[in-house]
């Protein structure tokens, strides 16, 4: 993903399945750290550890993030988490303790992985997570009063499915 920061474009690399592999293939925290080391050696400055399928629990998320920060420091590291609606605050707030800088969120939870096999798994809804983090004492710098309207507009876009040309 390419992000615009201060008028410049920057690259954010997402490390998928950083919190576990739902297919039963080998996975370990050390393998994630090795992948991070390779990306950093290539000069990648912004890396988001992703729960692509929305299957990681808060304990695993904290375990991986703590190990990554201990080895590489917090600069340039983030989390991109997916969840079913009932699991959002466990991951988006409680699971991270409000420490995620690049947490993947989308208005109305728009987004997610089309291969997750569960249409309810999506990005953490901004309009749910940010107010929760503010209640926990984290200043987000976002005008929370606008979130409900923006989420409603995003949900309408989610429902729009373009038709192929005739």
Residues of the chain with pLDDT under 50: 2, 94-103, 160-164, 166
- What residues contact residue 146 under an 8 Å CB cut-off, 6+ apart? none
pLDDT digits (tens, 9 = 90+) for 78-108: 888 877 667 677 665 544 444 444 445 555 5
Is residue 150 helix, strand or coil? helix
CA separation for the pair 138, 98 (Å, rounded): 7
CA separation for the pair 166, 51 (Å, rounded): 38
SS3 for 20-76, per residue?
Answer: CCCCCCCCCHHHHHHHHHHHHHCCCCEEEEEECCCCCCHHHHHHHHHHHHHHHCCCC
Q: Domain boundaries in the chain?
A: 2-159
CA separation for the pair 77, 79 (Å, rounded): 7
- Supply the CATH classification number for the domain 2-159: 3.20.20.70
CA separation for the pair 60, 8 (Å, rounded): 34
Pairing of strands 46-51, 77-83: parallel
- Whole-structure pTM value: 0.67
Predicted pLDDT of residue 79: 83
Is residue 9 helix, strand or coil? strand
Contact 83, 130 (CB under 8 A): no
> What DSSP character marks residue 140?
-
Count helices and strands in the chain by DSSP H and E runs: 5, 6
């Amino acid at each position: 993903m390419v992000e615009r920061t201060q008028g410049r474009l920057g690259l954010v690399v997402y490390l998928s399945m950083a919190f576990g592999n739902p297919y039963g293939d080998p996975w370990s925290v050390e393998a994630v750290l090795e992948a991070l080391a390779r990306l950093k050696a290539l000069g990648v400055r912004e890396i988001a550890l992703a729960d692509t399928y929305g299957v990681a629990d808060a304990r695993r998320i904290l375990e991986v993030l703590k190990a990554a920060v201990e080895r590489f420091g917090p600069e340039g590291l983030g989390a991109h988490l997916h969840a079913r609606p009932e699991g959002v605050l466990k991951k988006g707030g409680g699971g991270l303790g409000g420490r995620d800088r690049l947490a993947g969120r989308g208005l109305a939870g728009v987004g997610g992985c089309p291969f997750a096999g569960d249409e309810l798994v999506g990005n953490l809804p901004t309009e749910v997570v940010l107010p929760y983090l503010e209640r926990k004492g984290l200043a987000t710098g976002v005008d929370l009063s606008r979130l409900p309207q923006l989420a409603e507009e995003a949900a309408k876009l989610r429902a729009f499915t373009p038709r192929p040309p005739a």
